[in-house]
Amino acid sequence: MIALIIMSTVLIGTLCVLAYRLAVLALPVTLSFTIARIAYQTGAGMIGAGIIGFIAGAVAYGLLSVLFVSLRSPAARIAVGLIFALPAAGAGYTLISGISASMIQSELWRLMFCALGGLLIGSVAFTRLLVPSTRFRA
Protein backbone atom coordinates (compact mmCIF):
# COMPACT_ATOMS: atom_id res chain seq x y z
CA MET A 1 0.00 0.00 0.00
CA ILE A 2 2.84 2.40 0.84
CA ALA A 3 4.54 1.61 -2.47
CA LEU A 4 1.32 2.44 -4.32
CA ILE A 5 1.06 5.80 -2.54
CA ILE A 6 4.69 6.63 -3.36
CA MET A 7 4.25 5.60 -7.00
CA SER A 8 1.07 7.69 -7.29
CA THR A 9 2.82 10.72 -5.81
CA VAL A 10 5.74 10.36 -8.21
CA LEU A 11 3.36 9.93 -11.17
CA ILE A 12 1.32 13.01 -10.23
CA GLY A 13 4.50 15.04 -9.79
CA THR A 14 5.81 13.86 -13.16
CA LEU A 15 2.55 14.76 -14.88
CA CYS A 16 2.59 18.22 -13.26
CA VAL A 17 6.15 18.84 -14.49
CA LEU A 18 5.19 17.65 -17.99
CA ALA A 19 2.10 19.88 -18.06
CA TYR A 20 4.17 22.85 -16.87
CA ARG A 21 6.83 22.34 -19.54
CA LEU A 22 4.22 21.90 -22.25
CA ALA A 23 2.50 25.09 -21.09
CA VAL A 24 5.77 27.05 -21.16
CA LEU A 25 6.49 25.79 -24.69
CA ALA A 26 2.87 26.20 -25.83
CA LEU A 27 3.57 27.79 -29.22
CA PRO A 28 6.10 25.22 -30.50
CA VAL A 29 4.11 22.30 -29.06
CA THR A 30 0.83 23.48 -30.57
CA LEU A 31 2.49 24.14 -33.90
CA SER A 32 4.12 20.73 -33.75
CA PHE A 33 0.82 18.93 -33.11
CA THR A 34 -0.96 20.93 -35.80
CA ILE A 35 1.67 20.19 -38.45
CA ALA A 36 1.76 16.52 -37.42
CA ARG A 37 -2.04 16.29 -37.71
CA ILE A 38 -1.98 17.90 -41.16
CA ALA A 39 0.83 15.59 -42.28
CA TYR A 40 -1.08 12.55 -41.01
CA GLN A 41 -4.25 13.61 -42.81
CA THR A 42 -2.35 14.00 -46.07
CA GLY A 43 -1.00 10.47 -45.87
CA ALA A 44 2.39 10.72 -44.14
CA GLY A 45 1.58 7.90 -41.71
CA MET A 46 2.02 7.91 -37.94
CA ILE A 47 5.81 7.81 -37.84
CA GLY A 48 6.24 10.31 -40.66
CA ALA A 49 3.72 12.71 -39.12
CA GLY A 50 5.47 12.46 -35.76
CA ILE A 51 8.86 13.20 -37.28
CA ILE A 52 7.49 16.12 -39.31
CA GLY A 53 5.69 17.52 -36.26
CA PHE A 54 8.81 17.24 -34.11
CA ILE A 55 10.91 19.00 -36.72
CA ALA A 56 8.30 21.77 -37.08
CA GLY A 57 8.23 22.39 -33.32
CA ALA A 58 12.02 22.41 -33.06
CA VAL A 59 12.33 24.79 -36.01
CA ALA A 60 9.69 27.12 -34.56
CA TYR A 61 11.46 27.23 -31.18
CA GLY A 62 14.88 27.63 -32.75
CA LEU A 63 13.68 30.32 -35.14
CA LEU A 64 12.07 32.34 -32.35
CA SER A 65 15.18 31.99 -30.18
CA VAL A 66 17.56 33.04 -32.95
CA LEU A 67 15.27 35.87 -34.01
CA PHE A 68 15.03 37.11 -30.43
CA VAL A 69 18.80 37.10 -30.01
CA SER A 70 19.60 38.67 -33.37
CA LEU A 71 17.16 41.58 -33.18
CA ARG A 72 18.58 44.81 -31.77
CA SER A 73 15.39 46.86 -31.49
CA PRO A 74 13.81 46.51 -28.03
CA ALA A 75 10.32 46.81 -29.52
CA ALA A 76 10.98 43.97 -31.97
CA ARG A 77 12.46 41.81 -29.22
CA ILE A 78 9.41 42.43 -27.03
CA ALA A 79 7.12 41.56 -29.96
CA VAL A 80 8.94 38.25 -30.56
CA GLY A 81 8.90 37.54 -26.82
CA LEU A 82 5.15 38.19 -26.67
CA ILE A 83 4.57 35.93 -29.68
CA PHE A 84 6.23 33.20 -27.61
CA ALA A 85 4.79 34.14 -24.21
CA LEU A 86 1.10 34.87 -24.93
CA PRO A 87 0.18 31.30 -25.98
CA ALA A 88 2.07 30.06 -22.91
CA ALA A 89 0.05 32.41 -20.69
CA GLY A 90 -3.17 31.10 -22.24
CA ALA A 91 -2.04 27.51 -21.72
CA GLY A 92 -1.07 28.29 -18.11
CA TYR A 93 -4.49 29.84 -17.46
CA THR A 94 -6.20 26.78 -18.94
CA LEU A 95 -3.95 24.38 -17.02
CA ILE A 96 -4.71 26.02 -13.67
CA SER A 97 -8.39 26.27 -14.57
CA GLY A 98 -8.59 22.55 -15.30
CA ILE A 99 -6.74 21.59 -12.14
CA SER A 100 -8.65 23.93 -9.83
CA ALA A 101 -12.15 23.45 -11.29
CA SER A 102 -13.19 20.83 -8.76
CA MET A 103 -11.07 22.09 -5.85
CA ILE A 104 -11.97 25.77 -5.54
CA GLN A 105 -15.68 26.50 -5.15
CA SER A 106 -15.47 30.29 -5.30
CA GLU A 107 -15.47 31.46 -8.91
CA LEU A 108 -13.67 34.71 -8.05
CA TRP A 109 -10.80 32.94 -6.27
CA ARG A 110 -10.51 30.38 -9.05
CA LEU A 111 -10.29 33.13 -11.66
CA MET A 112 -7.64 34.93 -9.62
CA PHE A 113 -5.55 31.76 -9.29
CA CYS A 114 -5.96 31.05 -13.02
CA ALA A 115 -4.88 34.60 -13.93
CA LEU A 116 -1.88 34.33 -11.61
CA GLY A 117 -0.94 30.96 -13.12
CA GLY A 118 -1.25 32.33 -16.64
CA LEU A 119 0.84 35.37 -15.73
CA LEU A 120 3.56 33.27 -14.10
CA ILE A 121 3.80 30.72 -16.90
CA GLY A 122 3.77 33.48 -19.52
CA SER A 123 6.58 35.29 -17.73
CA VAL A 124 8.57 32.04 -17.48
CA ALA A 125 8.16 31.56 -21.24
CA PHE A 126 9.35 35.13 -21.88
CA THR A 127 12.27 34.62 -19.49
CA ARG A 128 13.19 31.41 -21.32
CA LEU A 129 14.02 33.57 -24.35
CA LEU A 130 15.88 36.17 -22.24
CA VAL A 131 18.24 33.94 -20.28
CA PRO A 132 20.85 32.27 -22.52
CA SER A 133 21.48 29.34 -20.17
CA THR A 134 17.85 28.16 -20.43
CA ARG A 135 17.31 28.96 -24.09
CA PHE A 136 18.12 25.57 -25.58
CA ARG A 137 17.09 23.30 -22.70
CA ALA A 138 13.81 21.46 -22.79
123 domain residue, yes or no:
yes
48 domain residue, yes or no:
no
52 domain residue, yes or no:
no
Q: Which pLDDT value is given to residue 21?
A: 79
Q: Which pLDDT value is given to residue 19?
A: 82
Range of the domain at 111: 2-26+58-134
45 domain residue, yes or no:
no
Q: Which pLDDT value is given to residue 132?
A: 57
SS3 78: helix
Q: Which pLDDT value is given to residue 15?
A: 83
How many domains does the chain fold into? 1
Query: Which residues are within 8 A (CB) of 128 and not within 5 positions of it... i.e. 6 or more apart?
Result: 24, 84, 134, 135
37 domain residue, yes or no:
no
* Among the listed residues 64, 63, 55, the one whose alpha carbon sits nearest the alpha carbon of residue 32: 55
* Among the listed residues 91, 75, 94, 74, the one whose alpha carbon sits nearest the alpha carbon of residue 125: 91
What does the pLDDT profile of the chain (138 residues) look like in tens digits? 888 888 888 888 888 888 887 877 888 888 999 999 999 999 888 999 999 999 999 998 888 888 888 888 888 888 888 888 888 888 889 888 888 888 888 889 999 999 998 998 888 888 877 775 554 454
